[in-house]
Amino acid sequence: MSEPISALNHASYDGIAKIAECGLQGMITLRGDLSDKVLAKAVKDATGQKVPGQREASFTGDTGVAWMSTDELLVLVPYAEVEAKLAAMTNALSGTHALAVNVSDARAVFSISGASAREVLGKLAPVELSAEAFQPGQIRRSRLAQVAGAFWMDDDQTFRVVCFRSAADYVFKLLKVAAQPGSEVGVY
């Protein structure tokens, strides 16, 4: 069995914020009726969290769940547990109109941390990132320059960014440029 390696294998960069590729992250896309009780229980069993409301995300470390759209959730579990969690989820949802798929190896995850983290991400996404508008507990799907990306905050100075694995190198380079020393804008 070959050893799984994340897209950029923990590459990192220190600028006005610290950029780091987070390594392997178990990730399950779950689609279905979000008001369904069976689905809610499957999410609870996998993550310990309840089904999030519109644009909400709740995480503890690398486990949690985020609202992706009216019929889609992103379930995060530790990479080593993803197959078992997915099997349990698929089993629980067997009589329900729902679909759970392991997308762990299709994605890359980055963290942006530091006092200027909002500023770094604000340069790349058309999103209001002031402390009044965006807080831990929220998720936003948007674009990072030219590729799709989603992000949420672990705490007031730390973002986690998810993008397609095929775009990982592009996103890392974007984040590095946005975090260049001396490039503070001072908006947030």
135 binds other proteins (CB under 8 A): no
Q: Are strands 107-113 and 63-69 parallel, antiparallel or unpaired?
A: unpaired
143 binds other proteins (CB under 8 A): yes
Q: What is the 3-state secondary structure (H, E, C) of 124-153?
A: CCCCCCCCCCCCCCEEEEEEECCEEEEEEE
Alpha helices in 1-151, H assignment, sequence order: 37-47, 82-92, 117-122
- Min CB(137)–other proteins separation in Å: 15
d(CA 24, CA 179): 23
Stretch that binds other proteins, among 43-51, 78-86, 138-146, 177-185 (CB under 8 A): 138-146
Number of residues that this document lists for the chain: 188
141 binds other proteins (CB under 8 A): yes
126 binds other proteins (CB under 8 A): yes
Binding other proteins (rule: CB under 8 A), the pick from 37, 45, 69, 180 is 69
Site residues, other proteins (CB under 8 A): 54-55, 68-70, 72, 126, 140-143, 148
